[in-house]
A and B are shown apart, each in its own frame.
Chain A
Amino acid sequence: GAGVSQSPSNKVTEKGKDVELRCDPISGHTALYWYRQSLGQGLEFLIYFQGNSAPDKSGLPSDRFSAERTGGSVSTLTIQRTQQEDSAVYLCASSLGRRGPGYTFGSGTRLTVV
């Protein structure tokens, strides 16, 4: 597609439920990142996919978080047993390669855990 597409744009869920967030990167972009941004805070790196290499999961905050990328394209971020502190905007970005140039972000999924 023309840009990075994320869905849903907003998600309200009850504490303890699982949620799945989707990212569809720009066609041909091999690098895909997930970040999250809490209110008034900077971007926090979560996970990185590069081509067919094993993902770098070093930013995932707990084992409740997981992500996969199927066929080198669409990625899903899954949060199990959601907690209120998981509330944030989850941003996906893609780029042509590991160092960019430049990263294109999707418009994000605003997750609210109640």
Chain B
Amino acid sequence: RKEVEQDPGPFNVPEGATVAFNCTYSNSASQSFFWYRQDCRKEPKLLMSVYSSGNEDGRFTAQLNRASQYISLLIRDSKLSDSATYLCVVNPRYSGGGADGLTFGKGTHLIIQP
């Protein structure tokens, strides 16, 4: 099982619709979770952190399910500008040293259609 798995899509969604996608992770000891957004030929940018209690930022809601080891991102009232690749990012906690850098999923490609 890959460390972080995402459905690559593309998800073609009409403007104004609600869209949700999940990401699964393999390391049950993972501590931190994030969603990043990457526009075409641009660098990834932090969209939001994912907290155990779930969190909401405007039209975006992120949730964590530790028991099933997945995180989700829900976008309401989607806009054309939401078209991008959404990267699921997990920060595992390694014991005994070593870098605990971010592990990136390959991303889910979202296309909002007018």
Of the listed residues A33, A98, A105, the one surrounded by the most CB atoms of chain B closer than 10 A to its CB is A105
Number of interface residues of B (CB under 8 A): 21
Q: How far is the CA of A59 from the CA of B61 in the complex (A)?
A: 32
Minimum CB–CB distance for A4 against chain B, Å: 8
Is the pair B106, A42 in contact by a Cβ cutoff of 8 Å?
A: yes
Is the pair A107, B102 in contact by a Cβ cutoff of 8 Å?
A: no
Number of interface residues of A (CB under 8 A): 22
- The interface bits of chain A over 16-48 (1 if a CB of B lies within 8 angstroms of the residue's CB, else 0) are 000000000000000001010000011101001
* Given contact pairs A42-B106, A99-B32, a sample of 5 additional A-B residue pairs in the complex whose CB atoms are under 8 Å apart: A42-B87, A42-B105, A43-B44, A45-B102, A100-B34
**Chain B residues near A (Cβ < 8 Å):** 31-32, 34, 42-46, 49, 87, 91, 98-107
